[in-house]
Amino acid sequence: MNEKKPLLEVRNLWVKLPDEEEFILRGFELTVHAGEVHALMGPNGSGKSTLAKVLAGHPGYEVTEGEVLFNGENLLEMEPDERARAGLFLAFQYPMEVPGVTIANFLRLAYQRRFNKEVKYTEFYKILLQHLKRLEMDASFAARPVNEGFSGGEKKRFEIVQMSLLEPTLAVLDETDSGLDIDALKVVANGVNAMRSPERAFLVITHYQRILNYITPDYVHVMVDGRIVRSGDARLALELEEKGYDWVRNELATAGA
């Protein structure tokens, strides 16, 4: 059993949209330690992306009950930028375009905020080129507006460039594999695997098992109707791939859960 202090603790979390009665997350609980990779799987509408957004501080959700501790601190009391500076990173399912802001300027500002230090543009540019090269992105991307005109695969690679550069303590990947062809998937997975360390944890949110062929999780959790209903090791993802999510739903119905 891992006796170290958890990096992330989510306890009895209840979340809904404002002015809505129905809850999206219903008593959700999860514990993640440094050095671990957790895969969170589930069908559409199960609450996976809602969890990711709540962790990052999206203002469009209402937390009515529960707590989230990150390195022992109350994450829910932090502003989104405070969470990022504390070492939380979210790779978006649908990365946004930021017209008029170049990748170099955008990431230099983020880098300086994350590590609380000023970095000259020429010095930062050299650092950025190293990270772009790792994700097989041309140096010309540094001068392009953030995600503007990028293909789906380029957007996802750029998310991993950001993660690599900012060196988060906890990286949440919200369906980063969505829309990727096999080559782009391998590049993204290699970028994640290169960052695995005893000091860092990952929460990989996905519908499908295929990304887990390249990023081997320590734990796999199945989420249905706003809560985790089954957990296991990497073999659970293979079982889901074979039997589908109806298998889990049917077991829950049989058990009266």
Q: How far apart are the first and last CA of the chain?
A: 27
More confident residue, 145 or 207: 145
Q: How far apart are CA 122 and CA 85, in angstroms?
A: 23
Q: pLDDT tens digits, residue range 174-220?
A: 998 888 889 889 988 999 999 999 999 999 999 888 899 999 999 99
What is the pLDDT at residue 1?
45
CA distance 98 to 249: 40
The domain locations on the chain are 8-99+168-255
Task: Output the CA–CA distances (angstroms, integers) from residue 77 to 47, 154, 176, in the order listed.
Answer: 21, 34, 27
Bin 81: left if φ > 0, else alpha if -120 < ψ < 50, else beta.
Answer: alpha
Residues forming beta bridges with residue 30, ordered by sequence position: 10
Q: How confident is the model at residue 257 (pLDDT cuts 50, 70, 90)?
A: low
* Domain 8-99+168-255: homologous superfamily in CATH: P-loop containing nucleotide triphosphate hydrolases (3.40.50.300)
Q: What integer is the mean pLDDT of 118-144?
A: 95
**How is the beta sheet containing 88-91 ordered, strand by strand?**
88-91, 170-174, 201-206, 37-41, 219-224, 227-232
User: How confident is the model at residue 247, as a pLDDT?
Assistant: 85
